[in-house]
Structure 1
Amino acid sequence: MDRTRGLIMIFMALDHALYFWSNGRVNNEGLPLLIKGTLTFNPLGNTTFLSLLVMFLSSLCAPGFFFIAGYVLALSVKKREAAGASNWSIDKYLWKRGFLLIALQLLIASPAFNLPLFVQAKSLSITTIGTFFSLSVLSSIGLGFIAFSLGRRISPWKLLGLVISLYLLSQALLPSLATSFPSLQAFIQACQVVLALPVPFSPELLANNNFPLIPWLLPLALGWLYGKTYVEKRGIAHEAKRFAVSGLCSITLFFVLRAAGIGDYLLPDGTLQGFFGLSKYPPSIDYFLLYLGLIFLLLFLFYKLPQTAKLSKILENFGRAPLFFYNTHLWLYAAIPAILGRFNTLPLWAGAVIWLLGLLILYPLTQGYQTWRSSHKVRAYRLQLPLRF
């Protein structure tokens, strides 16, 4: 898990470094757009091989992040249940974790993403309710944790079935939601944005969200299912085989559906770019099948990677402190272009160099944070203080 999550963090850093520094990056794939009353979905457009490669690598991040978050959460809850924790204490744990993630999104992550907007305006006076309530990955995971305080009371299979049903319903209603969106009251618009409909960012909205809750509950609930059904007696080797089979089945189904032109808003056009150009906002069925399938295979392959391998240590270092890495890397890559007042001025290859330099800085920072956290936990244990991170 730590190795796969570490790789996800590295690819995520690449995407965000380019977000702040470079131009020519593929973004908003599949975003529903209403142009003169006609609904369309944002295509990839003409782009370079490097842009496509970055899109492909960065598209692994969100599905993997949500899946692993659900998996680790399930293991944590199982451990608390086995220790005899009450339902109330477990619910409180989920709420605390959920609200913490939402707070980190609003107070740390979103302000970093909105820095280009503030720098361009040369003033903080453009801050609105919509710019403050800019939701994304962390807030959607946090909302998912809160929802699981209720969902955990049914079997993980029933929970996944319910989430899949909501996901399919949201996809079926997406055209009508997008078409009627401009005429709705601001509060109803905000509810749709939070729950089901990603829209182009606008400070005039009450809320912005490129990762609406209902679609992204699917990988979270899938991770919850795998975590809940993990049997420790069978060992990690059995779990790795389960990931391998799941990955092969998922990718095979992706190729079948994609070849048939089913399961995505962006239809294949006979080119390689068109075949792998999938809708991410919101995530389509084909998108989930391909990238979750690849995450499953990565989990299997990293199980096979020797513990002593240098790559293992590097990936584990990044993967063991996901929240620290996430919030730190955003401000690291955003700070200099904000000071200079020049975002998105470099070509992609130069942005990739900035990404690598950033990783060289982030590696010792992440190591230092883990050392501090470990020593803090040891001191707390000696003093018998209950700490939660």
Structure 2
Amino acid sequence: MARLPFLDRTRGLIMVFMALDHALFFWSSGRINNEGLPLLLNGTVTFNPLGDFSSLAFIVMLLSSICAPGFLFLAGYALALSIKRREFKGLSNSNINHHLWRRGMLLIALQLFIASPAFNLQMLLQTKSLSSVTWGTFFSMSVLSTIGIGFFFISLGRHISPWNLFGISGFLYLLSQLFLPTITLSYPSHLSIVQAGQAILVLPVSFSPESLVNNNFPVIPWLLPMTLGWLYGNTYAAQGIAYEAGRFAVSGFSCLTLFLLLRFAGLGDYLLPDGTFQGFFGLSKYPPSPDYYLLYLGLFFILLFLFYKLPEASRLAGVLEDFGKVPLFFYNIHLWLYAALPALLSNFNGYSLSFGVAVWAFGLIILYPLCHGYLVWKGLR
């Protein structure tokens, strides 16, 4: 089964938006983050509001919020196509399962030893002491570890219908939404194994070195786009790429229509619309609400369709395709590229939003030859 170039292009654009989000995290004030993060205040569960922000911050939020659901969808979709290829070659089920578990363990290791230290670099350099390396700073989990655990989940469920696997994931997601306030109320004991399990599976938490585990991408809420990608990848059939692109277009417009219906009705999100344009699109990402998924998966599906339509010879398509073919390399390199200098200068978040955008653009100029060279070295160009 041949690669689908528009998938690599869309993944490449998502990586570019992800780099924007992370560059601003390390460099700039004025960036919107922690949208909807559950908080326990005086015994009452509330959700962190968006607050005041500029038009540039709003645009950055819209672009960066596509990244996580799109990234996880493509992880599930590409995994389904990869397993189809392995099955076509006659590889055994045990061989495929071992591959999935090895891949999952690699992603968790990359999260703990490469990605998370980049996010914690500022704190580690400020303290200048090993005392800052706690269980919470080491077990600082995020998107890579969630995808890795998702590989374990799929390896256990890949022999049932992909519709059923997605249904199980959807049911667990709805349960996590329903019981989130109750779980938040029980969380304050940071060093409990039970609370660590809640942070890994259900509850996004504010980073704290005193916690046993930190995690802003709990597994159950974020399995939903991954198993959706698994479903689409498994149902991609012989009708061809044009049919698949059309299916994405229909899915995108359907998601956006349902989002508008729910949002105007004031349903599907912890953060209610406040009558402003920005408030209407201010959705809970931590944890991802139904409205959040409908809006950003809808936009992501439309992007897939548009990149199918982009001419093969387009220079932009070629650049994005190179980024999209090496997502793990790009992800880990870009974090350290953007994190190192502000940490060494002890000026974390010390610059304006517009300056951070300029740093992001300059970083992309550095990242492209690195990714292109890596592709050549791996024999993928």
Smaller-chain TM-score range? over 0.9
Residue of structure 1 aligned with 2:256, choices 251, 254, 261? 251
Equivalent-residue separation in structure 2 for 1:185 and 1:321 (angstroms): 37
Structure 1 residue aligned with 2:91 = 85
- Counterpart AA for 1:149: S
Paired residue total: 375
Residue of structure 2 aligned with 1:360, choices 355, 359, 365? 365
CA displacement 1:296-332 (0-9 Å, x = unmatched): 0000000000000111111101111100000000000
Structure 1 residue aligned with 2:293 = 288
Structure 1 residue aligned with 2:376 = 371
Equivalent-residue separation in structure 1 for 2:181 and 2:163 (angstroms): 29
Q: Is the 8 A contact 2:191 2:211 kept in 1?
A: no
The structural deviation recorded for 1:121 is 2.3
The structural deviation recorded for 1:124 is 3.4
What is the CA RMSD across the aligned residues, in angstroms?
Answer: 1.1
Q: Secondary structure at the match of 1:34?
A: strand
Is 2:18 aligned against 1:12?
yes
The structural deviation recorded for 1:21 is 0.7
Equivalent-residue separation in structure 1 for 2:87 and 2:318 (angstroms): 31
The structural deviation recorded for 1:183 is 4.6
Is 2:269 aligned against 1:264?
yes
Structure 2 residue aligned with 1:339 = 344
Structure 2 residue aligned with 1:41 = 47
Structure 1 residue aligned with 2:173 = 167
Q: Secondary structure at the match of 1:359?
A: helix
Structure 2 residue aligned with 1:328 = 333
What is the TM-score normalised by the length of structure 1?
A: 0.95
Structure 1 residue aligned with 2:105 = 99
Q: Secondary structure at the match of 2:94?
A: helix
CA displacement 1:326-382 (0-9 Å, x = unmatched): 00000001111122121111100000010011000000000000000117x9xxxxx
The structural deviation recorded for 1:120 is 3.0
The structural deviation recorded for 1:132 is 0.2
Written as runs of structure 1 = structure 2, the 5 A alignment for 1:13-28 is 13-28=19-34
Q: Is the 8 A contact 2:191 2:210 kept in 1?
A: no
What is the TM-score normalised by the length of structure 2?
A: 0.97
Q: Secondary structure at the match of 2:293?
A: helix
Equivalent-residue separation in structure 1 for 2:347 and 2:128 (angstroms): 12
The structural deviation recorded for 1:125 is 2.2
Q: Is the 8 A contact 2:190 2:212 kept in 1?
A: no
Structure 2 residue aligned with 1:115 = 121
Written as runs of structure 1 = structure 2, the 5 A alignment for 1:188-207 is 188-207=194-213
CA displacement 1:79-131 (0-9 Å, x = unmatched): 11122211111110100110000000000000000112223323332110110
Written as runs of structure 1 = structure 2, the 5 A alignment for 1:109-188 is 109-183=115-189, 186-188=192-194
Q: Secondary structure at the match of 2:266?
A: coil
Equivalent-residue separation in structure 2 for 1:268 and 1:327 (angstroms): 36
> Structure 1: 5+ residue runs without aligned partners?
378-389
Equivalent-residue separation in structure 2 for 1:313 and 1:273 (angstroms): 34
Q: Is the 8 A contact 2:115 2:335 kept in 1?
A: yes
Regions of 4+ moved over 4 Å? none
Equivalent-residue separation in structure 2 for 1:40 and 1:91 (angstroms): 41
Q: Secondary structure at the match of 1:39?
A: strand
Q: Secondary structure at the match of 1:204?
A: coil
Q: Secondary structure at the match of 2:45?
A: strand
- Counterpart AA for 1:299: L
Q: Secondary structure at the match of 1:374?
A: coil
Structure 2 residue aligned with 1:229 = 235
Equivalent-residue separation in structure 2 for 1:108 and 1:199 (angstroms): 21
Residue of structure 1 aligned with 2:356, choices 344, 351, 357? 351
> Structure 2: 5+ residue runs without aligned partners?
1-6
Structure 1 residue aligned with 2:222 = 216
Q: Secondary structure at the match of 1:234?
A: coil
Equivalent-residue separation in structure 2 for 1:306 and 1:69 (angstroms): 24
Equivalent-residue separation in structure 2 for 1:184 and 1:371 (angstroms): 46
Equivalent-residue separation in structure 1 for 2:87 and 2:235 (angstroms): 14
CA displacement 1:255-300 (0-9 Å, x = unmatched): 0000001000000011011100000000000000000011100000
Q: Is the 8 A contact 2:35 2:48 kept in 1?
A: yes
Structure 2 residue aligned with 1:383 = none
- Counterpart AA for 1:180: S
Residue of structure 1 aligned with 2:319, choices 298, 314, 339? 314
Q: Secondary structure at the match of 2:46?
A: strand
Equivalent-residue separation in structure 2 for 1:184 and 1:323 (angstroms): 31
CA displacement 1:162-190 (0-9 Å, x = unmatched): 10000000000000000111158610000
Structure 1 residue aligned with 2:245 = 240
Structure 2 residue aligned with 1:386 = none
Equivalent-residue separation in structure 1 for 2:184 and 2:341 (angstroms): 37
Structure 1 residue aligned with 2:4 = none
Is 2:66 aligned against 1:60?
yes
Equivalent-residue separation in structure 2 for 1:276 and 1:120 (angstroms): 36
Identity %: 66
